[in-house]
Amino acid sequence: MELIRAIEENAAELLLRMGAAGGGEQRDDKVRWTIGGSPIDYHNAVVAADLSDDEADLVIAESIKRFEANGVPGSWHVGPSMRPSDLGDRLLTAGFTHGGSEPGMAIDLTQLTDPSDPRPVLRIVRVRAADVLATWAATLAQGFGEGPKEAEWVAEVYGSEGFDDPWRHYLAYRDDEPVATATIFLAAGVAGVYFVMTVPTARRQGIGAAITLHALREARDSGIPYAVLGSSPAGRSVYESLGFKTYCEIDLYEWSSGVPAVDGGGASFPAQD
C-alpha cells in the first residue's frame, strides 16, 4: 500500500538526513542506516532492510559493531516492508530489547478535522531565524524525549540544515509565552509530523492538536496531499481527533550494551499534549 510505503520512507529519510547532518556514517544498499551522528538511540538507526535469511544475522552483528565503534546506543526501526519477516526475533536473539511499537498513521489532508471546542487562543509562527529556533529548542526541552540533551542536538542539526523546505518548524505562543512545538518534514511525497510537544503546564488543553492542525493546513495549502506520522500511545488519540488513521506498526528494537541507556520512547514522533 502506497501510504504504508510513505510512512516508512518519510521517517527513514528524516532519520538519515538528521544523522548525516550530525556527522553520522551512512549506509545505503540492502540495508539503510545512520550511526554515530546523535547521542540518542532512536536517531542512530537502521531504517530499512531487504535481506535474505543468510544475510540478516551478519548485518545485525555489523550494526552492533558500528554502534559500539561509535560509542552510541542504537536502534532498528522494523516496519512491514523489512525482510526477513523474523527480523524482530533475530534482533532479540542478538541482544536487542524491544522498545515498543509506534502506530504508523496517515491522513488525506482534504479530510482534516478541527477537534477544538473551544479553540485555544494561540499565536503560531514558522521558525525562520536562529533566535526563534533557540526558543523552539528551549520549549522542546521542557518535556520531550531526553529533555535538553535531545533538544540541543536537534536544534544544532536544524540550525545547520536551514529553515527552508523540506523543513518546516513551528512554535506556538499563548499570552506571549512559548507553549508548543511541531516540525513538518517533506519527503516521499508527503508531510511527516515530528516533535509535537506541549509544555507540561499547558497540556490537556488542545494546544498540541492546534499547532499540528496549523502546520498541516499549511502543508495542504502548499499542495501536499497526505500527512504521515508515527505516534506514541499517548499521542494517538490526539491524531485520531484530527482524522488520522492507523495503517501499520513500526517496532523499535534498541541496543545499549556498553553505553549509557537512552530512552527512545519520546524521540521523534509522539504528540505530548
pLDDT digits (tens, 9 = 90+) for 146-191: 888 999 999 999 999 999 999 999 999 999 999 999 999 999 999 9
pLDDT digits (tens, 9 = 90+) for 86-126: 999 999 999 999 999 999 999 999 999 998 777 889 999 99
Cell readout for 248 is 501499520
Single-letter code of the amino acid located at 213: L
pLDDT at 262 over 60: no
pLDDT digits (tens, 9 = 90+) for 12-47: 999 999 999 999 999 999 999 999 999 999 999 999
Q: How many CB atoms lie within 10 A of CB 85?
A: 10
Domains and CATH numbers, the chain: 2-102+249-266 (no CATH), 107-247 (3.40.630.30)
Residue 177 to residues 112, 136, 173, 188, Cα–Cα distance (Å)? 27, 11, 5, 34
- Percentage with pLDDT > 90 across the chain: 86
Place of cell 532512536: 42
Contacts of 255 (CB under 8 A, 6+ apart): 41, 63, 64, 67, 73, 74, 75, 95, 96
CB 173 within 8 A of CB 179: yes
Q: In what order do the strands lie in the sheet with 74-78?
A: 25-28, 31-35, 45-49, 74-78, 245-255, 97-108, 226-230, 190-198, 177-187, 167-174, 123-126
For residue 88, the model assigns a pLDDT of: 98
Average pLDDT over residues 197-226: 95
pLDDT digits (tens, 9 = 90+) for 63-84: 999 999 999 999 999 999 999 9
At 199, which helix (H) or strand (E)?
A: none
pTM, 2 dp: 0.92
